Amino acid sequence: MPIKSYLAHPQEGKKEDLLMALSKINHCEVIPAQNKDVIVLVTDTESEIEENILKEKLEAIESLKLFSMVSGFDTQN
Amino acid sequence: MCITPTNRRSFIKKMAATAAMTAAATMFPGIVFAIEQEANLPSGNDLDWKKGPCRFCGVGCGILVGVDKGKAVAVKGDPNSSVNKGLLCVKGYHQTMCIQAKDRLTHALVKKNGSYVRTPINEALDIVANKMKETIEKHGKDSVAMYTSGQSTIPEGYVASKLMKGAIGTNNLDCNARLCMASAVTGFLTTFGADEPMGCYEDIDYADYFITWGNNMAEMHPVLFSRMLEEKNRRGAKIIDFATRTTRSSSASDKSILFEPQTDLAVANAICHEIINKGWVNKSFVEKHCNFSKGLTNIGYGLEDKFKFTDKPEKIDFEAYKKFLEDYTPEKVAKYSGVSVKDIKYLATIYGDPNKKVVSYWCMGMNQHTRGTWINNLVYNIHLLTGKISQPGNGPFSLTGQPSACGTAREVGTFTHKLPKGVVTNEKHRRLAAKIWKVPYGRIPAKPTYHATEMFRAVDRGDIKFIWTQVTNPLVSLPKTSRYRPAMEKDSCFVVVSDVFPTPTSDVADVILPASWHIEKSGLYGNSERRTQHWDKMVEGPGETTPDAWMTIEVAKRMGFGDLFPYSEENHVEEIYNEYRQFHEGAKHGMAPLDVLKKQSGVIWPYVDGKSTQWRFNAKYDPACSNGEDFHFYGKPDGKAVIWQRPFEPAPEAPDDEYPFWLNTGRVIEHWHTGSMTRRIPVLHKAMPSAYVEFHPEDAKMLSIGNGEKIKVTSRRGSCILPASINERGLPTQGQVFVPFFDENMMINDVTLDAFCPISKEPDYKKCAVRVEKA
């Protein structure tokens, strides 16, 4: 049951698009910075399979330049 | 904390978000998430936000702890604190999570027939008091000792000093700040006659250049570094990293200059040579406000037991100083420092330009140095020669490592030579202490006894037969633990350890006392910028955990000193602080009343007429200046600071054929000191689970060492096995390895050398010789 947090960096001028795209995806919570082009993304999935499916969805977002993982927890432990 | 799976899950999600916001704060200085932080707190909770200082480093960030139904459930930066303006680092955000560790010490443990037996706290305190008393009766008052901490609160340090020096009448009190700040103290005292920095963090808002001397601020003082980066981005301030290893700070700086270990002494002199040679000396400042002196040379390294040294200062003139510097031309120094002539001149140009404001920052790189006092003096020389001192954006600034190394160790004075005001060798200071403590003047001994290293040597020799450690973990943090661990295991010494968690030090204790953690008690800390910060108890501690100050008071009472410790359990912090304030009355060190500290996020001393003094010694800001000039270094009898003639002298142990690498040790951003708290915080432990030995890639290639491979690091003292780290966190220079010391399972201090600065008695953890081989 992984919980992970990421920093999501948008393509130039696409922060709002990225925010909207991330908000629509299940298992995602987003916290945009007020004054910088970066979004904190927290993912909460039930299994590794679900996690991998989610990753694929995220990587397909066009307004996303890159996302880097900051922390990861397995809540079963 | 949260017990249901749902709550636990939402708590972890919040922590994951916090970790990401912290990482973002490092990458984007000034980034704002504040509204979201609050919006994402668990709904339905009526959180009570209580203010205090962070538990960890010496920066002294203001924190707000969210308390729900008596439990600490969240931490955020205090937006009202001028120190951190709402920012926190990764340790700060997660600090309260260690309270829930499963192995928390909740009850006293007494060793009986080789096993620890849970014992009521009152009974354990009886044992401690009886043993201390009995040892004094049998072996004399200098057979007992206390070893405390720069993490002790001001009241904790104060009652320890009063018990040892005022009640018992021994100077056998020292603290772990000896291991991190003693050279800064002797540097300040020899140059200015008054301890602690003259400036404050607001200097960051004005400086054009920040020059960091052997100081990885991005990891050790991340919030201050973040403020510097903000100024770099906002108005083009420049950061110059001068160090022996490439770190995260180097990468974020405008320029990184590397030097060979120990040669910072020579480079500082070369900068002064260049400043004089180019005519950049601020002549009127130097003539009005500075004297020149020299001290003894070839002063030794303290490697032998009972080492003694007393400097013999001698006044010299500017011409003699100038002549001395002829040995330190940039060309001569470049040959052995590894710093190019161009870079030495570049540094001198920055300091020498009268139109640029410069702050120098340092911490352990300069202090943990066998010539620590000297290198502190030499950086002051640069600022004094150019008159760049005690003004907004201009000044030398020694950063502290621990949250109250200044407030407790230095100001209360938990060193063997110190008193709450002044030193034991000064009759006036002893008389003041005797008066406030209400003890006979003759009871306070006039001679210092054991500094930290010598204290543990005395344990090893059998001279100390009872030792009580509080808020510190010396068997991980002392140098050469390969000697001091067996010393503490000897039957000749009765060991009492007060702590929050089990540590390698509590493992050798005869009695373990369960201490309250930070927010489970009230207290006061004093940070690097002379800011005193108060907090009220926020949550109840588990079991029979008790504040360290109260345990000391209880032992004092049991030893028959109850009349000297008339404090109440409910209100002892306030009562002790009010008594302590009397020591510092006046314009030079006046401290704010407690009601002011309760309302504000810290107050800088000297606190005069309801106002903090941000820049000492400058008549524009400091009401204690009384010589009618712009500046007044009133710590010295003639009001003048001293420019010291101090030479380069080599380290006591350097790489050779048998031990061909320098060993440098230090910290990482995730862990606080010996890791006893941060290794119990899952997010921090997972981020940095174990120590490592860092190699330069060329050295690794030469030795055919791969990342993660087990390596044995061996010195003349001992050895330690760690995984190799290549091109990861930091990059040592060729011929050097770096190891962080937070990991009690990989005891690098078994390997380090217990050489120290003969003036400050602070050990050098940054330089010794080792060999490395595959384990």
Per-residue pLDDT at B2 = 36
Range of the domain at B520: 108-180+403-612
Cβ–Cβ under 8 Å, residues B672 and B57: yes
Distance from C-alpha of B62 to C-alpha of B92, rounded to nearest angstrom: 10
Q: Is B627 inside a domain boundary?
A: no
Angle between the B548-556 and B154-161 helix axes, to the nearest 10 degrees?
Answer: 20
Percent over 90 (pLDDT), chain B:
90
Most confident of B31-35, B68-72, B296-300: B296-300
User: Is B133 in the same domain as B70?
Assistant: no
b (16+ CB within 10 A) / e for B713-741: bbbebbbbebbbbbeebbbbbeebbbbbb
Cα dihedral B25, B31, B36, B37 in deg (nearest 10) = 40
B135 and B200 belong to one structural domain: no
Query: Which residues does B39 contact at the CB level (< 8 Å), separation at least 6?
Result: none
- Residue pair B245/B733 in contact (Cβ under 8 Å)? The answer is yes
Q: Which of B61, B180, B198, B220 is an active site residue?
A: B180
Total domain count, chain A: 1
Task: Judge whether residue B361 has pLDDT over 60.
Answer: yes
Q: Do B31 and A3 touch (CB under 8 A)?
A: no
ipTM of the complex: 0.95
Mean local confidence (pLDDT), B186-213: 98
Kindly state the helix (H) or strand (E) to which residue A42 belongs, with its residue range. Answer: strand A39-44
Q: pLDDT tens digits for B232-260?
A: 989 999 999 999 999 999 999 999 999 99
Q: What is the pLDDT of residues B486-497, one digit of tens each?
A: 999 999 999 999
The H-assigned helical ranges of B354-480 are 364-367, 372-386, 427-437, 452-461, 474-477
Any catalytic annotation for residue B747?
Answer: no
User: Both B592 and B470 in a single domain?
Assistant: yes
Kindly state whether residues B299 and B201 are assigned to the same domain: yes
In total, the C-beta contacts within 8 angstroms joining chain A to chain B are 81
- If one counts every other C-beta atom within 10 angstroms of the C-beta of residue B284, the result is 10
Whether B760 has a pLDDT exceeding 80, the answer reads yes
Q: How confident is the model at residue B1 (pLDDT cuts 50, 70, 90)?
A: very low
Average pLDDT estimate for B291-317 = 98
> What is the domain range of residue A22?
10-66
Q: Which of B37, B151, B262, B402 is catalytic?
A: B402
Sheet containing A2-10: which strands, arranged edge to edge?
A28-32, A39-44, A2-10, A64-74
Q: Give the whole-angstrom CA distance, residue B259 versus residue B262.
A: 8
- Residue B460 sits in the same domain as residue B394: no
Residue A33 covered by a domain: yes
Placement of tokens 């050489």 in the chain: B755
State whether B12 and A4 contact (CB < 8 Å). Answer: no
A-chain CB neighbours of B13 within 8 Å are 3, 29, 42, 44
Contact residues on chain A for B12, CB-CB shorter than 8 A: 3, 73, 75
Residue B355 lies inside a defined structural domain of this protein: yes
Q: How far apart are CA B455 and CA B466, in angstroms?
A: 11
pLDDT at B6 over 70: no
Polymer length in residues for chain A: 77
Task: Please indicate whether residue B546 or residue B17 has the higher confidence score (pLDDT).
Answer: B546
Nearest to A73 among B12, B32, B36 (CB): B12
Q: Cβ contact (<8 Å) for A3 and B9?
A: yes
Residue type, B309: F
Rounded to whole angstroms, the Cα distance separating B775 from B720 reads: 10
- Kindly state whether residue B294 falls inside one of the protein's structural domains: yes
Candidates B7, B12, B97: best to mutate against A (most CBs of A within 10 A) is B12
| Residues B138 and B199 occupy one common structural domain | no
Asked if B211 and B112 sit in the same domain, the reply is no
pLDDT of residue A63: 93
| Of the candidates B702, B619, B707, the residue with the CA atom closest to the CA atom of residue B661 | B702
Could you read off the pLDDT of A25-73 as tens digits, one per residue? 988 999 888 778 889 999 999 888 888 899 889 989 999 988 888 877 7
**Domains of chain B: total:** 4
pLDDT digit string, tens, across residues B95-140: 999 998 999 999 999 999 999 999 999 999 999 999 999 999 999 9
Q: How far is A19 from chain B (nearest CA, A)?
A: 14
Q: How far is B90 from chain A (nearest CA, A)?
A: 11
CATH number of the domain bearing residue B696: 2.40.40.20
Report whether pLDDT(A75) > 70.
no
B720 catalytic per annotation:
no
What pLDDT sits at residue B312?
98
In-domain check, residue B632: no
State whether residue B189 sits within 8 Å of chain A by CB: no
In the residue annotation, B402 being an active-site residue is answered as yes
Global pTM? 0.89
- Within-domain flag for B488: yes
Angstroms from B218 CA to nearest CA on chain A: 17
Q: Which of A4, A34, A38 has its CB closest to that of B16?
A: A4
| Residue B535 shares a structural domain with residue B546 | yes
Interface of A with B (CB under 8 A): 1, 3-7, 29, 31-36, 38, 40-42, 44, 70-73, 75
Choose the final residue of a domain: B82, B100, B118.
Answer: B100
Instruction: Please give the single-letter amino acid code of residue B475.
Output: L
Contact yes or no for A36 and B24 at CB 8 A: yes
pLDDT reading at B589 higher than 90: yes
Strand locations in B2-97, DSSP E?
A: 48-53, 62-68, 71-77
Residue A77 has pLDDT above 50, yes or no: no
Q: How many Å separate Cα B683 from the centre of its chain?
A: 24
Provide CB contacts within 8 A for B199, sequence distance 6+: B359, B390, B392, B394, B395, B397, B529, B614, B615
Nearest CA in chain B to A38: B24
pLDDT (0 to 100) of residue B3: 40
Closest by Cβ to B31, choosing from A35, A71, A72: A35
Tens-place pLDDT, residues B543-554: 999 999 999 999
Q: Which residue of B has its CA nearest to A31?
A: B36
Amino acid occupying residue A68: S
pLDDT given for residue A4 in this prediction: 87
